[in-house]
Amino acid sequence: MTVMDREKLRRLFTRAGVIGVVFFFSAVTALFAQPGLEKMHVGYSAQAGAFAPIWITKEAGLFRKHGLDVHLVFIPGGPTAAAALMAGEVQVVAMAGPAIVTSNLAGSDLVMIGGIVNTFAFQFVTVKSITSPGQLKGKRIGVNRFGAAPDVAARYALGRMGIDPREVIILQLGEQSTRLAAMKTGQLEAAILLPPITTLAQKEGMNVLMDMSELGAEFQITGLAGSRSFTVQKRPSALKFMRAFVEGIHFYKTRRKESMAIIARYMRTDDMEAVGATYDYFATKIVPKKPYPSVKGVKALLDLAAKDRPEAAKVSPERFVNLTLLKELDDSGFIDRLYQ
């Protein structure tokens, strides 16, 4: 499928929403079917560097190598992605951990089957005039959606800086590029961002007030999610997916030039300096070779959720993860052999 085809599909999906996407995917399958491969619909919930491993697995041909014809679809926002999973319109989504926890607490069977970002890989960026936490009080801070990972990160960062989230104004403004544009036009004083958008912000003279990845906190910010029924009833398919994904991470970590080209295409930028910063941040610092979801990271999400839902503090974090797919591959030596 060409880049133009993929962009058309993303725009169609965004307009269609969650309702009716099954019909849409059926049409896609008829148009782009690859004989002999098992068809699978996979989503990702943000056009951010944290999602590079899923893009690279697709574009490097590793899904095909492992017997899957994967249609990769952009589903903006964790809550929307969770709804698509629950509806069975996609089998796996690379998405924010908080949305999976929220969905599962509400009664779904969604679980994390892989961890991509197991810590706060966010940067708290401010306009040029704000250089210290104390200056944030009463100011406007941009996130994508309330309850999504950047919103969780913003509130956590504020707490670490000694600021009650009620002392600021948190606004939901969509994608990172929109948040950066709002900062440039004076509509925001701060935002939660990631490379390459952070790099672009710094070129405008903005400040990284806090690089949250340096806090060392385990938080299941981004990972692979699927339904428990999919991982049990379609286990061979789930194993094919996971085998391809861990090989995609190996490609990502060892093929910088090719990976940067894919990242630039998906993030629709020709600023290779910014793309390089994205690669260096995630490939070398954040994404693990063995992408197990973090049980401690899920527990941290539950503790946060307990502020609004006290019963969340009593729920075992193991309920929200399925480690068996990765463990089977790990125990077989498959992952270690990739790096020999």
CATH number at residue 15: 3.40.190.10
Region 124-130 average pLDDT:
97
Region 81-89 average pLDDT:
92
Which 8-state DSSP code applies to residue 190? E
Are both 254 and 290 inside the same structural domain? Answer: yes
Region 146-162 average pLDDT:
88
Are both 194 and 231 inside the same structural domain? Answer: no
Q: According to the model, what pLDDT value does residue 185 have?
A: 96
Residue 80 to residue 13: CA distance in whole angstroms: 12
Q: According to the model, what pLDDT value does residue 130 have?
A: 97
Are both 101 and 227 inside the same structural domain? Answer: yes
Round to the nearest angstrom and report the end-to-end CA distance of the chain: 32
- Of the listed ranges 32-36, 38-42, 142-146, 154-158, the least confidently predicted one is 32-36
Region 272-292 average pLDDT:
93
Q: According to the model, what pLDDT value does residue 337 have?
A: 97
Are both 175 and 228 inside the same structural domain? Answer: no
Are both 112 and 195 inside the same structural domain? Answer: no
Region 267-296 average pLDDT:
92
Residue 22 to residue 39: CA distance in whole angstroms: 13
**pTM as predicted:** 0.79
Are both 152 and 298 inside the same structural domain? Answer: no
Which percentage of the chain shows pLDDT scores above 90?
69
Are both 271 and 127 inside the same structural domain? Answer: no
In this predicted structure, the answer to whether residue 33 has a pLDDT above a threshold of 70 is: no
Residue 37: what are its φ and ψ, rounded to 5°?
A: -105, 145
Residue 289 to residue 330: CA distance in whole angstroms: 11
Q: Sign (positive/negative) of CA torsion 294, 98, 335, 331? A: positive
End residue of a domain, out of 191, 215, 239: 215
In this predicted structure, the answer to whether residue 309 has a pLDDT above a threshold of 50 is: yes
Whole-number average pLDDT of the chain: 88
Region 145-154 average pLDDT:
84
End residue of a domain, out of 215, 249, 265: 215
End residue of a domain, out of 215, 246, 266: 215
Q: According to the model, what pLDDT value does residue 340 have?
A: 93
Are both 112 and 224 inside the same structural domain? Answer: yes
Are both 160 and 109 inside the same structural domain? Answer: no
Better-scored residue on pLDDT, 1 or 145? 145
In this predicted structure, the answer to whether residue 47 has a pLDDT above a threshold of 90 is: no
- Of the listed ranges 176-185, 255-264, 297-306, the least confidently predicted one is 297-306
Region 119-136 average pLDDT:
94
pLDDT confidence tier of residue 248, bands split at 50, 70 and 90: very high
Region of residue 171 (phi > 0: left; psi between -120 and 50: alpha; otherwise: beta): beta
Q: Which of 133, 169, 118 is nearest to 282 (CA)?
A: 118
Are both 266 and 327 inside the same structural domain? Answer: yes
In this predicted structure, the answer to whether residue 132 has a pLDDT above a threshold of 50 is: yes
In this predicted structure, the answer to whether residue 11 has a pLDDT above a threshold of 70 is: no
Are both 101 and 242 inside the same structural domain? Answer: yes
Q: According to the model, what pLDDT value does residue 35 have?
A: 65
Are both 111 and 234 inside the same structural domain? Answer: yes
In this predicted structure, the answer to whether residue 3 has a pLDDT above a threshold of 50 is: no
Q: According to the model, what pLDDT value does residue 25 have?
A: 42
Count how many domains the chain has. 2
C-alpha pair distances (Å), 49 with each of 1, 102, 287, 292, 317: 22, 24, 10, 19, 27
Q: According to the model, what pLDDT value does residue 216 have?
A: 83
Q: According to the model, what pLDDT value does residue 196 have?
A: 81
Range of 323's domain?
Answer: 3-119+218-338
The gap from C-alpha 174 to its chain's centroid, in whole angstroms, comes to 14
In this predicted structure, the answer to whether residue 15 has a pLDDT above a threshold of 80 is: no
